[in-house]
Structure 1
Amino acid sequence: MRTIAAAAAAALTLLLLPGPAAARVVPSRLTLSAGDHRLDLLCSGVPGGGHPQAARACAELAAADGDPDRLPHGNGICPMVYQPVTARADGLWDGRVVRWTREFANSCTLHQATGTLFAF
């Protein structure tokens, strides 16, 4: 009888301890801008924040550990038209500060280098 009571007490204690489900959500929210366009990308919890492909952009960023320089590059061909566009990503990824700025020859080269992150 004592063993059953001890086992029940141990099980109850485990249920009351904070586990992965009760873990603190670490913020992952970036403000993205490219040319005249600007929006927020929220990746903590349900992806959103105004990005038209938020879930995919968040998944790509997660695979790149939040570093836009490590995003998968496209294989397409871009025109050799010089229309520079500056892209920025500022905010927090997994609790770390992100301050990223790059200039691209045109919007095509931007999208080739950053996947869906700046596809808005």
Structure 2
Amino acid sequence: MRVRSVLTALCAAVCAAVLTPPAAVGSVTVNEYTLTLSGFDHTWSRAIRLRCPAGPEGHYHPRGEQACADLAGVRGNLDRMRPSPTRCAPEYGRLVATLSGSYAGRSVGWNRAFRDECTLYTATHAVFRF
């Protein structure tokens, strides 16, 4: 009889551990991105790493908290981001923006060319403001 109750308790503990969602056991999903900006003619480039939430060292991205919130709002898919209503004066400094990384455990990637920084910021909010 004692063996039976021990096995029942053991089975219940194993089932609870297996069926408990990760958020309930205290794990935090970390989303990591590499953001790159480059001139359309490839004469310059700059890149930064964005980790959401930030690690103990904080963000390397100057607007990291807002960039993370912007990406969380579209689940890491910049194609879903709605442009801000800012109107841009015609400036021509063509550039290419690239995002690669992971969101909620899945790989994400995005690449677009923009007429200038204003149109980039309008389309991507704080994500590429570094």
Q: TM-score, normalised by structure 2?
A: 0.70
1:102 aligns with one of 112, 124, 130: 112
RMSD: 2.4
How far apart in 2 are the matches of 1:103 and 1:27? 28
Gaps of 5+ in 1: 1-8
Report the 3-state secondary structure (helix = DSSP H, G, I; strand = E; otherwise coil) of the residue aligned with 2:67: helix
How far apart in 2 are the matches of 1:116 and 1:101? 16
How far apart in 2 are the matches of 1:118 and 1:34? 8
- Please give the per-residue CA displacement for 1:70-94, whole angstroms capped at 9, x wherever unaligned: 2232211212122211000001111
Does residue 73 of the first structure (1) align with residue 83 of the second (2)?
yes
Does residue 43 of the first structure (1) align with residue 52 of the second (2)?
yes
Report the 3-state secondary structure (helix = DSSP H, G, I; strand = E; otherwise coil) of the residue aligned with 1:103: strand
Report the 3-state secondary structure (helix = DSSP H, G, I; strand = E; otherwise coil) of the residue aligned with 1:40: strand
Query: After the TM superposition, which residues 26-65 of structure 1 pair with which residues of structure 2 at under 5 Å, given as runs?
Result: 26-35=29-38, 36-44=45-53, 46=55, 48-65=58-75
Deviation, 1:45, is: 5.6
Q: TM-score, normalised by structure 1?
A: 0.76
Deviation, 1:118, is: 0.4
How far apart in 2 are the matches of 1:45 and 1:22? 20
Does residue 25 of the first structure (1) align with residue 35 of the second (2)?
no
Contact 2:53/2:68, CA 8 A, preserved across alignment: no
State the one-letter code of the partner of 1:99. G
- Please give the per-residue CA displacement for 1:19-42, whole angstroms capped at 9, x wherever unaligned: 634244333100001122210000
- How many residues align structurally? 107
Deviation, 1:46, is: 4.9
Report the 3-state secondary structure (helix = DSSP H, G, I; strand = E; otherwise coil) of the residue aligned with 2:108: strand
- Sequence identity of aligned pairs in percent? 34
> Which residue of structure 1 lines up, in the alignment, with residue 103 of structure 2?
93
